[in-house]
């Protein structure tokens, strides 16, 4: 049986300001689809006989991941929460240890949650071919059949043919352009996709042989597991001692059983805006527009407009991204340097690195509409049946005005219901909670006032989502 293991970590900084620390690219719908990249990764498995997918992400993204799986109405095999990021070799080890707990030994199909694959049938065909090899104990990686010299990818050189694949001759680091040209022309090299198919026990066996330090740290971390709703936590102290290493360096470059299976399926890792432009639907002038965009004499340009009209005149080869709180303008060929902007923002501790103006929570979301020295206005959306924590604030009072839906308000031990155009005042230090008892989204405006309006001015007494 195939057990998909979907790696949903990462920050996607090259796609800032679309992708940010608390809501990175794998949770966004970027290529014109109605589904996010994570949801597309899960949906792509339909047609392959497999167990429900296992997800691996970090603590900050747990509710986003769970909600996006719920929206697909599919089962999952748990959402592993890494205490700290330690790269792919330890993450896959956690999944492998979990997979063999019940005396089973599935084939782990390791996938990244942020790849675009245009040809699902070709993807599934490669997986089926690889499954026969993995059952024999081979550690299979998928090599992308490249159509141009790429300097942003690592490469895999194939050796002699082995059934539906090829013995891996060697892994190659990202080359310069001239070297990449020779690789593509030779036909002996594939782009390194970062996708794998391997038997859980075989991976652990090879990991123990080549990197016993990683194996031991993960084994110790798995000895203390804490199941919390959809989530699985492991021993943080033990996992923090684990080295940071990729599966390529830890295992694949050392094992004698590495096999590469070619995949020609319209793959793209969407590592930057130029790649996003390539996978987006373009008009006759090579433009890819999303949102309210008007263009005159514009060519080969990518525009994302989130909440306002974007107009372009006489430009080409640009990336223009307009979000509610940031605007990016870059030459398409220089767009990889966006990470330098992100680093500047990190150095200045700017909140735009991590947060969108619109922030998602397990109960719904809020949009910070306006703020000043002693006030802040938010538009809050609460999902049906959801409830915010029972809490109080030392420094701010709040006023809630219902826009649509029904609110159940808990205020200092009393309950009341509010509907459209009704409001309630929450004084400083009052113990309160907000709940949506209805069947449709609850929309309300929250006006905060006080001497300090930070999100850390929350004392929680009770929370159904396990937040401290």
* 248 and 298, same domain (yes or no): no
* 196 and 245, same domain (yes or no): yes
* 194 and 230, same domain (yes or no): yes
* 319 and 415, same domain (yes or no): no
Integer Cα distance of 339 and 325 in angstroms? 18
Mean pLDDT, to the nearest integer, of 198-207? 97
CA-based nearest residue to 402, from 385, 375, 431, 382 = 382
Specify if 349 maps to a domain.
no
Mapping DSSP to helix (H, G, I), strand (E, B) and coil, where does residue 220 land?
helix
Q: The whole model's pTM is what? A: 0.90
In the chain, % of residues over pLDDT 90: 85
Per-residue pLDDT for 335 more than 80?
yes
The confidence band for 33, taking pLDDT boundaries of 50, 70 and 90, is confident
The confidence band for 359, taking pLDDT boundaries of 50, 70 and 90, is confident
Per-residue pLDDT for 229 more than 90?
no
Q: Identify the pLDDT of residue 362.
A: 87
Contact present, 76 and 28 (Cβ < 8 Å): no
Mean pLDDT, to the nearest integer, of 427-449? 97
Report the Cα 102 to chain-centroid distance in Å: 29
Q: Identify the pLDDT of residue 17.
A: 96
Q: Identify the pLDDT of residue 265.
A: 95
* 315 and 393, same domain (yes or no): no
Specify if 468 maps to a domain.
no
The confidence band for 76, taking pLDDT boundaries of 50, 70 and 90, is very high
Specify if 350 maps to a domain.
no
* 291 and 258, same domain (yes or no): no
Q: Which of 246, 268, 290 is the last residue of a domain?
A: 268
Per-residue pLDDT for 63 more than 90?
no
The confidence band for 10, taking pLDDT boundaries of 50, 70 and 90, is confident
Q: Which of 268, 293, 313 is the last residue of a domain?
A: 268
**For residue 321, what are the β-bridge partners?**
304, 328
State pLDDT tens for residues 288-317: 999 999 999 999 999 999 889 999 999 999
Q: Identify the pLDDT of residue 441.
A: 96
Q: Identify the pLDDT of residue 390.
A: 97
Specify if 66 maps to a domain.
yes
State pLDDT tens for residues 310-324: 999 999 999 999 999
Kindly write down the DSSP assignment for every residue of 267-327, as one continuous string: EE---SHHHHHHHS---TTS-EEESSEEEES-BS-EEEESSS-EEEES-BSEEEEE-SS-E
Integer Cα distance of 398 and 427 in angstroms? 7
* 111 and 189, same domain (yes or no): yes
* 112 and 228, same domain (yes or no): yes
In the chain, % of residues over pLDDT 70: 100
Q: Identify the pLDDT of residue 240.
A: 94
Specify if 311 maps to a domain.
yes
Specify if 427 maps to a domain.
yes
CATH of residue 95's domain is: 3.90.550.10
Integer Cα distance of 435 and 409 in angstroms? 6
Mean pLDDT, to the nearest integer, of 326-344? 94
Q: In what side-by-side order are the strands of the sheet with 327-331?
A: 288-290, 302-305, 318-322, 327-331
Q: Identify the pLDDT of residue 103.
A: 84
Q: Identify the pLDDT of residue 188.
A: 93
Q: Identify the pLDDT of residue 455.
A: 86
Q: Identify the pLDDT of residue 346.
A: 95
Per-residue pLDDT for 91 more than 90?
yes
Q: Residue 418 sits in which domain range?
A: 358-462
- Average per-residue pLDDT in the chain? 94
Q: Which of 268, 288, 305 is the last residue of a domain?
A: 268
Integer Cα distance of 406 and 290 in angstroms? 33
Integer Cα distance of 259 and 129 in angstroms? 12
Per-residue pLDDT for 467 more than 80?
no
* 297 and 405, same domain (yes or no): no
Q: Identify the pLDDT of residue 152.
A: 87
Mean pLDDT, to the nearest integer, of 173-181? 92
Specify if 398 maps to a domain.
yes
Integer Cα distance of 66 and 361 in angstroms? 11
Per-residue pLDDT for 226 more than 90?
no
Check residue 155 and report its DSSP letter: E
CA-based nearest residue to 221, from 106, 97, 102 = 97
* 311 and 225, same domain (yes or no): no
Kindly write down the DSSP assignment for every residue of 62-92, as one continuous string: HHHHHHHHHHHT--EEEEEEESS---HHHHH
* 38 and 82, same domain (yes or no): yes
Query: Total structural domains in the chain?
Result: 3
Specify if 351 maps to a domain.
no
Integer Cα distance of 278 and 274 in angstroms? 6
Q: Identify the pLDDT of residue 297.
A: 97
Strands 358-361 and 442-450: unpaired
State pLDDT tens for residues 399-422: 999 999 999 999 999 999 999 999
* 29 and 75, same domain (yes or no): yes
State pLDDT tens for residues 235-292: 999 999 999 999 999 999 999 999 999 999 999 999 899 999 999 999 999 999 999 9
Residues in Cβ contact with 316 at an 8 Å cutoff, skipping those fewer than 6 apart: 298, 299, 300, 301
CATH of residue 376's domain is: 2.60.120.10
């Amino acid at each position: 049986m195939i057990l998909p293991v979907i790696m949903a970590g990462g920050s996607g900084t090259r796609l800032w300001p679309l992708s940010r620390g608390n809501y990175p690219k794998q949770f966004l719908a970027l290529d014109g689809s109605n589904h996010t990249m994570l949801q597309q990764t899960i949906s792509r498995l339909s047609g392959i006989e497999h167990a429900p997918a296992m997800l691996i992400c970090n603590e900050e993204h747990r509710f986003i991941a769970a909600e996006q799986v719920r929206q697909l109405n599919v089962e999952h095999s748990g959402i592993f929460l890494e205490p700290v990021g330690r790269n792919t070799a330890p993450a896959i080890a956690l999944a492998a240890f979990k997979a063999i707990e019940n005396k089973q030994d599935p084939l782990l199909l390791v996938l990244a949650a942020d790849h675009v694959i245009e040809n699902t049938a070709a993807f599934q065909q490669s997986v089926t071919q690889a499954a026969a090899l993995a059952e024999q104990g081979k550690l299979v990686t998928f090599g992308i059949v490249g159509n141009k010299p790429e300097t942003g990818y690592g490469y895999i050189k194939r050796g002699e043919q082995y059934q539906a694949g090829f013995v891996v001759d060697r892994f190659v680091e990202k080359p310069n352009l001239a070297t990449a040209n020779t690789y593509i022309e030779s036909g002996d090299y594939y782009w390194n996709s970062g996708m794998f198919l391997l038997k859980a026990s075989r991976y652990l066996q090879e990991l123990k042989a080549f990197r016993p330090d990683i194996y031991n740290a993960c084994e110790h971390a798995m000895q203390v597991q804490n199941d919390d709703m959809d989530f699985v936590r492991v021993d943080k102290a033990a996992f923090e001692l684990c080295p940071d290493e990729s599966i390529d360096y830890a295992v694949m470059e050392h094992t004698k059983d590495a096999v590469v299976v070619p995949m020609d399926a319209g793959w793209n890792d969407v590592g930057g805006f130029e790649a996003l432009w390539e996978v987006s639907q373009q008009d006759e002038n090579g433009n890819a527009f999303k949102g309210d965009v008007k263009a005159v004499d514009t060519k080969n340009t990518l525009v994302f407009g989130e909440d306002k009209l974007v107009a372009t005149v006489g430009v080409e080869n640009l990336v223009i991204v307009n979000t509610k709180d940031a605007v990016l303008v870059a030459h398409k060929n220089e767009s990889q340097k966006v990470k330098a902007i992100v680093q500047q923002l990190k150095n200045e501790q700017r909140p735009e690195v991590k947060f969108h103006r619109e922030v998602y929570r397990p109960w719904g979301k809020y949009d910070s509409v306006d703020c000043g020295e002693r006030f802040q206005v938010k538009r809050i959306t609460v999902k049906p049946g959801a409830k915010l924590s029972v809490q109080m604030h030392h420094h701010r009072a709040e006023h809630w005005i219902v826009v649509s839906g029904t609110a159940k308000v808990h205020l200092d031990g009393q309950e009341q219901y509010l509907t459209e155009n009704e409001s309630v005042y929450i004084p400083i230090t009052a113990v309160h909670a907000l709940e949506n008892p209805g069947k449709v989204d609850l929309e309300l405006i929250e006006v905060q006032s006080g001497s300090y309006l930070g999100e850390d001015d929350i004392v929680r007494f009770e929370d159904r989502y396990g937040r401290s």
